[in-house]
Structure 1
């Protein structure tokens, strides 16, 4: 598979995961406090952050890294009582 096509597919999957979580939350069939919502956000953001590093795009990297960190915080918060 061509590397450019693979990157396009990966970015599509990453964006789709984030959009599924967003739409699910907006339509109230997904609770933002639950693991599924934050896992979708974290995985989607990790994929998009990786894509943003090649070639480096500072704004995109900043957005995706922040999204990953916030999602991970939300996932871990109940376990560490923050």
Structure 2
């Protein structure tokens, strides 16, 4: 089961990258939200199948996604 959760996380991150690349004006909430979900799901898998470098990478991936979501929320508030 943890491997399937990891594959779902991988699919989220690939989707977010394809979305960013394919959309002229990507919605930052979709982009960063899906990236955060992907990092969380991959982290679940990595807890069961430890790989420290990948776990550290997912921590940074999640932190950057959270930063992007916070930035998008601030931009939305300032635009209103």
| TM-based fold match above 0.5 | yes
Query: What TM-score do you get using the length of structure 1 for normalisation?
Result: 0.79
Residues 5-49 of structure 1, C-alpha deviations (whole Å, 9 max, x = no match)? x11210111000111110111112561x61011000000001101
5+ residue gaps, structure 1, are: 1-5
Per the alignment, residue 74 of structure 1 pairs with 68
Tell me the matched-pair count.
Answer: 75
Which segments of structure 1 move beyond 4 Å, counting only runs of 4 or more?
Answer: none
Which of 49-58 and 15-24 deviates more? 49-58
TM-align CA RMSD: 1.9
CA distance in 2, matches of 1:67, 1:15: 12
CA distance in 1, matches of 2:14, 2:24: 13
CA distance in 2, matches of 1:29, 1:12: 27
Structure scoring higher RCO (CA < 8 A, sep ≥ 6) equals 2
CA distance in 2, matches of 1:23, 1:43: 15
